[in-house]
């Protein structure tokens, strides 16, 4: 049984991770971590997650006996999470998005000591759709007349970064397919359009961020050609898909040596 600590445990995603982990016989929730000034400190994590009491109070101090940490929090808290994971020699599922380049570097350094899964989305369906987007791009990039790629993402009004990390990852993977051949033009990443922008060029990917209500997340990848269009769409109806994916990554990590891994690794997609 894996001893799991959930960082950001009082947040929307953290509560779902606690709830799903508590119902999974492969896990024992041993810590629910929040920052030292959080209003929910001392409350039972089970109650916050809508369950019966787990006898795990929300705390700011990390215990020593942890097998894996799942982090759904904010970028400003990530450095402390990385330090705590290394100190506890615990595997880490880093599900927080909007990280700086310096924080990505810190994750890479930490992965020399512990096993880490980082991905812009923990959803299994999202990661499968990313692989399909790569395949569609590879098949269409040389089509007569060209193919235009636009990425539309929708999230809840509370999301603080735009475009989403998931949208940017879709764009990164698609751009890599376009740029794979020697001499290929570099792809431009265009964020929204306004005013007299001129005709669309063939070597750009457009991003469009929509923020509405409590939308837990959806992404549409549009491949537009002359005379026909392909759209790949993946949408979450609630947050459990992200929590379940993070827990799948946590289970997978228990058998892995130190290193940096992605959800493609978790899913066995090379």
Determine the Cα–Cα distance for residues 201 and 146; give it in Å rounded to an integer: 10
- d(CA 120, CA 238) in angstroms, rounded, equals 17
Q: Is the peptide bond before 163 cis (omega within 30 degrees of 0)?
A: yes
Would you say 49 is a known binding-site residue? no
Q: Residue 71 — left, alpha, or beta (φ > 0 → left; ψ -120 to 50 → alpha)? A: beta
Q: Is 198 annotated as a binding residue?
A: no
Annotated binding residue 137:
no
Task: Consult the annotation and say whether 133 binds a ligand.
Answer: no
Q: State which H helix or E strand residue 238 sits in.
A: none
Give the whole-angstrom CA distance, residue 222 versus residue 235. 14
Q: Are 6 and 18 in contact (CB under 8 A)?
A: yes
pTM metric for this prediction: 0.86
The structure tokens listed for 79 are 């450095």
- The verdict on whether residue 235 carries a ligand-binding annotation is no
Structural domains of the chain, with CATH: 2-122+239-267 (3.40.50.720), 125-235 (3.30.360.10)
Is 121 assigned to a binding site?
yes
The reply, when asked if residue 186 is annotated as ligand binding, is: no
Q: What is the pLDDT of residue 151?
A: 98
Residue 191 bears catalytic tag: no
Residue whose tokens read 């947040």: 11
Q: Find out whether 11 is annotated in a ligand binding site.
A: yes
**Per annotation, catalytic residue among 155, 169, 208, 219:** 155
Ligand-binding site membership of 229 (annotated): no
In whole angstroms, give the CA distance from residue 31 to residue 106.
23
Cα(145)–Cα(162) distance, rounded to whole angstroms? 31
- Helices 240-253 and 12-22, interaxial angle, to 10°? 60
| Model pLDDT, residue 190 | 96
Give me the catalytic one of 104, 159, 189, 251: 159
Task: Tokens for 111, please give them.
Answer: 């992965």
Residue with tokens 């990280």: 99
Question: Which of the 8 DSSP states describes residue 153?
Answer: E
Which residues make Cβ contacts (< 8 Å) with residue 197, sequence separation at least 6? Answer: none
- Look at residues 267, 170, 184 and name the one whose alpha carbon lies nearest to residue 220: 170
Give me the residues of the chain with pLDDT under 50, please: none
Using a 10 angstrom Cβ sphere, with 0-12 exposed, 13-18 middle and 19 or more buried, the burial of residue 134 is middle
174-190 burial: b if 16+ Cβ within 10 Å, else e: bbebbeeeeeeeebeeb
38 catalytic per annotation? no
pLDDT of res. 160: 87
If DSSP codes are grouped into helix, strand and coil, which group holds residue 108? Answer: helix
The pLDDT tens digits of the residues spanning 95-131 come to 998 899 999 999 999 999 999 999 989 999 999 999 9
Q: Could you report how far apart the first and last alpha carbons of the chain are, in Å? A: 28
């Amino acid at each position: 049984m894996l001893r799991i600590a959930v960082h950001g445990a009082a947040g929307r995603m953290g509560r779902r991770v606690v709830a799903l982990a508590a119902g999974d016989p492969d896990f024992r929730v041993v810590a629910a971590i929040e920052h030292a000034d959080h209003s929910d400190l001392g409350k039972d994590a089970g109650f916050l997650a809508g369950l019966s009491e787990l006898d795990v109070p929300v705390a700011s101090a990390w215990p020593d006996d942890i097998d894996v940490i799942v982090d759904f929090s904010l970028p400003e808290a990530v450095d402390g999470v990385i330090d705590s994971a290394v100190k506890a020699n615990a595997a880490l599922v880093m599900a927080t998005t909007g990280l700086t380049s310096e924080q990505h570097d810190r994750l890479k350094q930490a992965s020399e000591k512990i096993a880490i899964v980082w991905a812009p989305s923990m959803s299994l369906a999202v990661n499968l759709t990313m692989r399909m987007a790569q395949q569609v791009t590879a098949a269409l990039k040389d089509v007569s007349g060209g193919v235009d790629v636009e990425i539309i993402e929708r999230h809840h009004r509370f999301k603080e970064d735009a475009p989403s990390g998931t949208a940017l990852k879709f764009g990164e993977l698609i751009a890599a397919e376009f740029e794979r051949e020697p001499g290929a033009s570099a792809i431009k990443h265009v964020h929204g359009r306004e005013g007299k922008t001129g005709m669309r060029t063939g070597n750009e990917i457009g991003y469009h961020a929509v923020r509405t209500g409590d939308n837990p997340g959806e992404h549409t990848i549009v491949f537009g050609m002359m005379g026909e269009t392909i759209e790949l769409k993946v949408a979450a109806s609630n947050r459990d898909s992200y929590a379940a994916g993070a827990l799948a990554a946590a289970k997978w990590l228990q058998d892995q040596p130190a290193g940096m891994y992605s959800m493609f690794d978790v899913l066995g997609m090379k």
